[in-house]
Amino acid sequence: MSAAVTRVDPTRHLLSIADLDRDAIEELLDLTDTFVEVGRRAIPKVPALRGRTVVSLFYEDSTRTRLSFETAAKRLSADTMSFAVSSSSVNKGESVRDTIETIEAMGIDAVVVRHKSSGVPAQIARWTNAVVVNAGDGWHQHPTQALLDAYTARSHLGSLDGRHIAIVGDVKHSRVARSDIEIFTALGAKVTLVAPPTLLPAHTSAWPVEVSHELDPLLGSIDVCYLLRMQRERMTEALVPSLREYTACWGLTSARADRLRDGALIMHPGPMNRGVEIASEVADRPNAVITEQVANGVAVRMAVLFLLLGPGRAQAAALTDVPAVEAAAVEGPAAIEVPETDTATPTTATPTTATEDHP
Ligand code: CP
C-alpha cells in the first residue's frame, strides 16, 4: 500500500517565495523594519518567542544563513537547538525522517532546514507538526535570502517597480537566482539573467525574465548588479573553459564596476569568490551592499520567525490568498507589541494588515 501524500499548508511554513503574493512580501518587508530597529537597541532582544524552541537542521554547509537564523531566534528570546550533521547519528545511517521525529520528540516549535536535495524541507513539513523554514534546498529555493535581498534593494532604491536587476553568473545551479527572480518580479522589477548558455537552465523561456549572454551592454542601465557565486562544488562538467575566462567575460571587474550608473547597487549572496565573479576591490566599494545584506538577514529572519511562531502566527494566513480581514478577525488588532526585553519601554510594530541557501 502506498503512503498517502499529505499536502503541505504553505501558510504554516516558509518553503518557497512562490507561496507569497506581493502583499504578503511587502508586509513581511515592512515588519522587517521593526526588527532592524530592534537590532539597533542597546539590548537587541525582544521576548516575542519566549518559551518557543527553534532548531537549525543543516545538512549542508552554511555560515550566514545558519548564524543569522540562530541570532534571529535568540533575539526573539526563543530557545535554540543546533544540529551538526558531522557529529550526529546521520553518520550512523539515521534517516532524515527518523532524525526529525527524534528532534520533535524533544519538543520543538520550528525547524530551519538546509539540504542539498530539492524538496527536503517540504517533505519534512509533512512529517512534523513544527513550522518548517527552508534555509536552502538544492537548486530549488532559498526564500529568506530572497527576502533579505529584496529588503536591501528596496531600502536603497525605494520601490522596485520598474527597476532593472541583472542576475549574473551561475543561474543554473542557483537556488538564490530562482527565489530572487520570483521576489524581484513579484515586486515589479525587470530581471535580466546574464550568463553563458552553459550556466543557464534549459527552461528560462518559461520564466518572467530576459536573458543576455553579455554583461557589458547592460552596465549603464541596470539598477542592481546581482552577482552569483560560481558554484564549483555543483558543477559536474566543465561549464566554462576556465575561471579566468569566466572573469574576463562575466566577472564584475573594476573596469566594469566603473561603468555602472550612479546609485546602482552591487549585491552578492555570499560566500564570494573574490577575483572570480567579483573583483576584490569592487566588493568593498560603497555601492556594494553585501555586508548590509547579511545584517538585514537577521531582521528578515526575525520577521519570518515572528510571523510563523509568534503573536503574528495567524497573520501568516495572508501569505497566500486568505483575505487579510479574515486573518485580522482571528488575530484581533493588527498592532503587534514588540517590547524590549527587560525594559519598561514598549515599542509597537504595526504591520499594515494581517500577515505573516544556497547562493
Ligand atoms: N547566502 C548564503 O546562503 O550563505 P551561507 O551558505 O553561508 O548560508
List, in order of start, the domains of the chain with CATH numbers.
17-142+295-349 (3.40.50.1370), 143-293 (3.40.50.1370)
Q: Which atom of ligand 1 is nearest to the CA of 357?
A: 3
For ligand 1, say whether the CB of 63 is within 6 Å of any of its atoms: yes
For ligand 1, say whether the CB of 68 is within 6 Å of any of its atoms: no
Return the C-alpha cell found at 342.
527587560
For ligand 1, say whether the CB of 270 is within 6 Å of any of its atoms: yes
Helical packing angle, 175-186 and 22-39, nearest 10°: 110
Q: Which of 219, 169, 165 is nearest to 192 (CA)?
A: 165
Q: How far does the chain reach from its first CA to its final CA, in angstroms?
A: 39
Residue nearest ligand 1's atom 3 by CA? 357
For ligand 1, say whether the CB of 312 is within 6 Å of any of its atoms: no
Q: Distance from the CA of 119 to the center of ligand 1, in angstroms?
A: 18
Q: Distance from the CA of 272 to the center of ligand 1, in angstroms?
A: 10
Cell 576584490 sits on residue:
280
Question: Helices marked H in 89-242 — which ranges?
Answer: 96-105, 120-127, 143-157, 175-186
Q: Which of 135, 143, 147 is nearest to 63 (CA)?
A: 135
Determine the residue of 56, 60, 63 to mutate for testing ligand 1's pocket, defined as the one with the most ligand atoms within 8 A of the Cβ atom. 63
For ligand 1, say whether the CB of 144 is within 6 Å of any of its atoms: no
Q: Which of 121, 119, 107 is nearest to 58 (CA)?
A: 121
C-alpha distances in Å from residue 231, one per residue of 1, 158, 176, 258: 41, 31, 12, 26
Return the H-helix or E-strand segment holding 53.
strand 53-58
| Cβ neighbours, 10 Å, residue 322 | 18
The pTM of the full predicted model, rounded to 2 decimals, is 0.86
CB 97, CB 67: distance < 8 Å: no
Q: Distance from the CA of 116 to the center of ligand 1, in angstroms?
A: 13
Q: What is the CA radius of gyration of the chain?
A: 20
For ligand 1, say whether the CB of 65 is within 6 Å of any of its atoms: yes
Find all residues with CB under 8 Å of 124, minimum gap 6, and list them: 57, 96, 100, 111, 113, 132
Return the H-helix or E-strand segment holding 190.
strand 190-194
Note the Cα 10 to chain centre separation in Å: 16
Residue nearest ligand 1's atom 2 by CA? 357
Q: Would you mind telling me the total number of residues written for the chain in this entry?
A: 359
Backbone phi and psi for residue 15, each to the nearest 5 degrees, phi listed first? -110, -30
Q: Tell me the three state secondary structure of residue 201.
A: coil
Q: Which atom of ligand 1 is nearest to the CA of 270?
A: 1
Q: 3-state SS string over 56-117?
A: EEECCCCCHHHHHHHHHHHHCCCEEEEEEHHHCHHHHCCCHHHHHHHHHHCCCCEEEEEECC
Residuewise pLDDT in 10s, the chain (359 residues): 444 556 778 789 999 999 999 999 999 999 999 999 999 999 999 999 999 999 999 999 999 999 999 999 999 999 999 988 888 899 899 999 999 999 999 999 999 999 999 999 999 999 999 999 999 999 999 999 999 999 999 999 999 999 999 999 999 999 999 999 999 999 999 999 999 999 999 999 999 999 999 999 999 999 999 999 987 766 656 788 888 999 999 999 999 999 999 999 999 999 999 999 999 999 999 999 999 999 999 999 999 999 999 875 554 444 333 333 233 332 322 334 444 444 333 233 332 222 223 45
